[in-house]
Structure 1
């Protein structure tokens, strides 16, 4: 029998987790002033299918569930009203909720797409205690038209578990009645669990039922996070679905079934992430709240009185937005490296196009052609009623002016003009095929012939002023060494066979000895030290041959390249 794990250390910190289970649907209903009692859902595209992503209270009452195919949902509820999901707007709405939560604690962090984490240490007494704090949050969210579930514990993981699963029992991973699928010895215990059907006490109230005991159940008293999490399902530990299914097949369904198990077998079978989640929830591993830094957005927008749909109209809007944004960037001493143009349609959906630059700039004349190439990709749908232009990535830039005498100033000006033209060319080509597909060669510090150059992205590297000269001329073409049929002696053969051709030596220059990098185990250089020769054969071809003296492989002659 394994020994129980050590008790969680007593913590003086308190954390609050806020979960908005209907964030996407209720945000859209707030915008349209819709009725939450009506069936409404936000739909997300997952591969070839459309799935329900967020449901209103009316849709859940109709029996619909999250991640259900849209066609199945419409078959169950023909009156269902849907809208396409807009992740950017939902993220902005959650950011506004994060700023609202700052009234309860200065330390507010984002925990996923629908949740917030707050460090409320020393803050609860300002609202009449932790129960008063939750009551104030419930009142605010009721006024906002939002559904919220909250949990307070000594750890971030414990608060998250109470917010998501307080009052819920452990579910079974198989379909059908789990009790009927269990062994006969287990069914006797199942009868005791359903004692309320024979006049016993009623089970716990579901989390959505507005009773006074819900707030108390969502709060784990200080030092009692272990007992508060014990009856919750294993999903409260933030585990992956595959891990949950495997644990359920082993008969582990509640947190109490798992926390007392020996850690070594769990780590070997399920990996270290499982034990990490347990330790985070119990407080053995710290998990602080990291507030999101307020980033200064460089963006401008334009609301249109009438929807537009022509490419010329979108370009006209771009001409209005781009100079304003570039003036803001120049005043802040920054230049844009990645620009994004967002087109908001009348059906509350949005499409965006992006363009990257090879060098940060705040010059609208260099940015506009790149965005103009992308505008044609925007599908206007039923019309576009707002345009938004944002500099997603920016870098500090400074104005450079030629100084010195006239001749030096002209040289510097010419170099700057050539650099700008090259950067514009890279940006234009990258806008069509991708910035990562535009590359350039750079010298590398290696004496191995095939390693003397490296490929770098042209947009994030500077051109080479002067390429270092090799000790002896190198061939124009290099390939993987190909065997040459010749005697296995270090003297250059007068006749040899290569690529099914018999060649006769006309002239040979060398040798140049190159040793492998002894600190690396390169499979291509297990033939040992090489002696390279520049060999011209009858017929005019100039080849680069080497004799491998043999290391882990047999010695012999090989052809490595060809000169121009």
Structure 2
């Protein structure tokens, strides 16, 4: 019987080591990546030296700076970390062609039939550790028959389940108090002020854990229940009941566990043990359209940035044109000399791949850019693209007609106008009226973004109703007139007495029987265009009555 072999690679310090690995061989001050969580700044990634100083992930920034005053803080950059994880995925392709990303800091590889090419699974893990050590990355790895078991071994192998006792347990003290207590005990014993924390170092042989083929259940039996990828609430509830290890769950009746904790717990246990399959879905490569310019000296002037964009746009547009794509959204990333980055997002009303149309829009976005201490790398990416639509070239007669009427399929002035306005206030803030597929007057028009549907032939210009509709529409207002289908010689509306001079109609409109619209519970309506001697031209209807009483109402005005 053949077994799948799954490798899980976890980079626990990827966010911090992505930046600190550049400073190898020099002083390595404690580094922390900070993100905003619930209106508070917390640590989301730590370097090895920061962890040795007693800091932990999830800790508040102020508490961390009080414990470690020399802490270097960098703002979290999800886009840069996602790009770095994608680069690690391409590196992992040397070990297996079946690589899947597991954001934010892990990879999954299907090693079935691949490990023997590297001398076995132990030799493969050793090579992975050496590669990561050369790049300054900490890695933890696990190999098993299932995705869940490999994930568990990579993260929890060698750890002990947490305690749920109440009282004076040391793990229930405040984190800052525990950190000071550790330092105090070290000083009293004459040791170093900051003891080294346990854990794998880059390239350490202990960074990998291997479950033998067919031995997945025994390999994960002693791991904490958190290794089954359960939410913290479920882990805490299981621990209070004394179910702290995977083997404790395996010995329990499945029906009782499902009734109390839900089917998600049973599913995670079955996935880890291989009862329920969980295949590795590799990341789809897809088209990638990006260009980069590295500068010898930092720049900060807008004219210099424009010159760099002029060098980047032609090759990017050439790649798009060669692949038959057009850019719908562009991202301009400017890397500062201090390691931080500035990102600019640009949306287009209609996909384009012409430099002359993209440059003015990017120029408008540069005004609000903060260059900081200077920009030494610029990257331009078309991260959202669409297939380019072929346009039929016009003959002399059609070109003359287009120039005369200022319209035609090759016209781009409206697209450029929407693009310039969208660069300032956002494309979503520019709306237009679009014909809707409904015979109900108030539902025949819908509001949508002006850029939506511009690349289609109809562009929203559908045939409207056969009869004219008023310029202004409002909710039906009661009209003081006799309750009969024929309009009287005089009627009252909004405190005025009006006399009709001409009537056009009726136009009968029935409600949508498949919808229960409270505004149309008056039943079938007969609409009239009424011109009054006083100059008003109103849109009146007579409701025949259904669940509501019948009568005359005014719903709009033609002028």
Calculate the TM-score normalised by the size of structure 1.
0.83
Mapped to 2, the partners of 1:180 and 1:140 lie a distance apart of 36
SS at match of 1:103: coil
SS at match of 2:486: coil
Confirm or deny: 8 A CA contact 1:168 1:206 kept in the other structure. Answer: no
Mapped to 1, the partners of 2:304 and 2:513 lie a distance apart of 64
Please show how residues 357-436 of structure 1 align to structure 2 within 5 Å.
357-397=348-388, 400=391, 402-404=393-395, 406-411=396-401, 415-416=407-408, 419-436=411-428
Confirm or deny: 8 A CA contact 2:391 2:409 kept in the other structure. Answer: no
> 1:353 and 2:344 equivalent?
yes
Structure 2 CA distance for partners of 1:526 and 1:220, relative to 1, 3 Å: farther
Mapped to 2, the partners of 1:539 and 1:431 lie a distance apart of 48
Mapped to 2, the partners of 1:513 and 1:249 lie a distance apart of 69
Alpha-carbon offset, residue 432 of structure 1: 1.6
SS at match of 1:461: coil
CA-based RMSD: 3.4
Partner of 1:342: 333
Structure 2 CA distance for partners of 1:90 and 1:482, relative to 1, 3 Å: same
Please show how residues 50-449 of structure 1 align to structure 2 within 5 Å.
50-172=41-163, 177=168, 208=200, 218-245=209-236, 248=239, 252-258=243-249, 273-397=264-388, 400=391, 402-404=393-395, 406-411=396-401, 415-416=407-408, 419-449=411-441
Structure 2 CA distance for partners of 1:11 and 1:520, relative to 1, 3 Å: farther
Calculate the TM-score normalised by the size of structure 2.
0.84
Alpha-carbon offset, residue 403 of structure 1: 4.8
SS at match of 1:314: helix
Alpha-carbon offset, residue 391 of structure 1: 1.9
Mapped to 2, the partners of 1:74 and 1:348 lie a distance apart of 21
Alpha-carbon offset, residue 277 of structure 1: 3.3
**Unpaired runs of at least 5, structure 1:** 1-9, 182-204
Mapped to 2, the partners of 1:403 and 1:81 lie a distance apart of 62
After superposition, give the CA deviation of every residue in 1:272-310 in whole Å (9 maximum; x if it has no partner): 655543443333443221222334432222222222222
Confirm or deny: 8 A CA contact 1:29 1:35 kept in the other structure. Answer: no
Alpha-carbon offset, residue 119 of structure 1: 0.8
Confirm or deny: 8 A CA contact 2:55 2:64 kept in the other structure. Answer: yes
Partner of 1:554: 549
Structure 2 CA distance for partners of 1:482 and 1:139, relative to 1, 3 Å: same
> 1:459 and 2:434 equivalent?
no
Structure 2 CA distance for partners of 1:170 and 1:407, relative to 1, 3 Å: same
Mapped to 2, the partners of 1:411 and 1:498 lie a distance apart of 49
Alpha-carbon offset, residue 356 of structure 1: 1.6
SS at match of 1:94: helix
SS at match of 1:459: coil
Confirm or deny: 8 A CA contact 1:44 1:85 kept in the other structure. Answer: yes
SS at match of 1:460: coil
Query: Bigger CA drift: 259-268 or 276-285?
Result: 259-268
Alpha-carbon offset, residue 109 of structure 1: 0.7
Mapped to 1, the partners of 2:390 and 2:520 lie a distance apart of 49
Mapped to 1, the partners of 2:392 and 2:84 lie a distance apart of 44
Please show how residues 405-554 of structure 1 align to structure 2 within 5 Å.
406-411=396-401, 415-416=407-408, 419-462=411-454, 464=459, 467-554=462-549
Structure 2 CA distance for partners of 1:227 and 1:536, relative to 1, 3 Å: farther
Mapped to 1, the partners of 2:311 and 2:201 lie a distance apart of 52
Mapped to 2, the partners of 1:367 and 1:226 lie a distance apart of 57
**Unpaired runs of at least 5, structure 2:** 173-196
Partner of 1:200: none
Structure 2 CA distance for partners of 1:273 and 1:490, relative to 1, 3 Å: farther
Confirm or deny: 8 A CA contact 2:96 2:111 kept in the other structure. Answer: yes
Confirm or deny: 8 A CA contact 1:37 1:57 kept in the other structure. Answer: no
Confirm or deny: 8 A CA contact 1:234 1:254 kept in the other structure. Answer: yes
Mapped to 2, the partners of 1:44 and 1:351 lie a distance apart of 16
Structure 2 CA distance for partners of 1:176 and 1:12, relative to 1, 3 Å: same
Confirm or deny: 8 A CA contact 2:132 2:139 kept in the other structure. Answer: yes
Alpha-carbon offset, residue 523 of structure 1: 3.1
After superposition, give the CA deviation of every residue in 1:127-148 in whole Å (9 maximum; x if it has no partner): 3443343333233323333211
Structure 2 CA distance for partners of 1:94 and 1:213, relative to 1, 3 Å: closer
Aligned residues: 530
Structure 2 CA distance for partners of 1:132 and 1:467, relative to 1, 3 Å: closer
SS at match of 1:316: helix
Alpha-carbon offset, residue 504 of structure 1: 4.4
Mapped to 2, the partners of 1:442 and 1:314 lie a distance apart of 39
After superposition, give the CA deviation of every residue in 1:502-529 in whole Å (9 maximum; x if it has no partner): 5444443332211112223333323322
Alpha-carbon offset, residue 334 of structure 1: 2.9
Alpha-carbon offset, residue 422 of structure 1: 0.9
Alpha-carbon offset, residue 349 of structure 1: 0.6
Alpha-carbon offset, residue 430 of structure 1: 1.3
Structure 2 CA distance for partners of 1:528 and 1:236, relative to 1, 3 Å: farther
SS at match of 2:131: helix
> 1:17 and 2:12 equivalent?
no
After superposition, give the CA deviation of every residue in 1:84-142 in whole Å (9 maximum; x if it has no partner): 33333322322222122222211011011110001111223333443343333233323
Mapped to 1, the partners of 2:42 and 2:317 lie a distance apart of 40
